[in-house]
Amino acid sequence: MRGFTLVEVMIVALLMSIMALMSWRVLESMTRTQSVLHERGLALEDTQTLFNQWQRDCHALLPPDQWVLGVPVHLGTRQMAWVVHEDGAVRVVSYALAGGVVRRAISPALTTRGELNGVWQAVLQGELPQNSGGQASTLVVAGGVDLQDQAWLGGQGWVDATQDPALNVQSVQVRGLALEIFLGGTAAPLRQVCLTGQD
């Protein structure tokens, strides 16, 4: 019986090394894919939680007979805010994108017109409402790359930040709100539309 030559042994060792390298690359790729899918799933879950809260906030829009500061909806660049009547109190809620994170913030209960005006003016300047401890009460979605907002105004249709209803001195009907969140790695935005129920 003849044994293997040194060249044959080296060829077999080279082939085994190539197969081991290919197997390692496949395992690394599978691990990376699993990690990306897990992160994407968490981002979508956080976005769904945010959209559910956004829907509740939309339905709590302050009724027109209680508007003391004009139209209580502000559409800004990557920020949307409005005045809500929640748990028997008036509050300001805001959704904003900053630093790749979409945040929902809500003010404490506002009991006077002066408090409401102060918080509302701060929001119009791009600040987030803060609770009594000085911190924003937030829901967070990481991985945001853009946020766009719109409001459906009676007689005008959909308007965006260029036609901010908060700057509209006349009384209008805010019939709906829309929010789009663009997450990194997604081809299309995630969009939520809500009818306010106000006629």
Pairing of strands 157-159, 174-183: unpaired
Closest CA to 120 of 150, 146, 89, 84: 84
- Whole-angstrom CA distances from 2 to 9, 13, 36, 160 are 13, 19, 52, 84
pLDDT of residue 134: 47
pLDDT of residue 72: 87
How does residue 193 score in pLDDT terms, banded at 50, 70 and 90?
very high
Between 60-64, 153-157, 188-192, the lowest mean confidence (pLDDT) is in 153-157
Amino acid at 151: A
What is the average pLDDT across 121-150?
A: 73
Burial 92-105 (b: 16+ CB within 10 A, else e): bbbbbbeeeebbbb
- Average pLDDT score, the chain: 84
Pairing of strands 79-86, 73-76: antiparallel
Burial 52-70 (b: 16+ CB within 10 A, else e): eebeebbebbbeeeebeee
Largest CA distance in the chain: 102
How does residue 20 score in pLDDT terms, banded at 50, 70 and 90?
very high
- 81/185: higher pLDDT: 81
Write down the pTM of the prediction. 0.75
What is the average pLDDT across 177-184?
A: 86
What percent helix, strand, coil does the chain show, rounded to 5? 40, 35, 30
Under DSSP, is residue 62 helix (H, G, I), strand (E, B) or coil? coil
How many Å apart are CA 152 and CA 173, to the nearest integer? 8
Q: Are 123 and 107 in contact (CB under 8 A)?
A: no
Quote the tokens at residue 54. Answer: 């956004």
What is the average pLDDT across 31-36?
A: 88
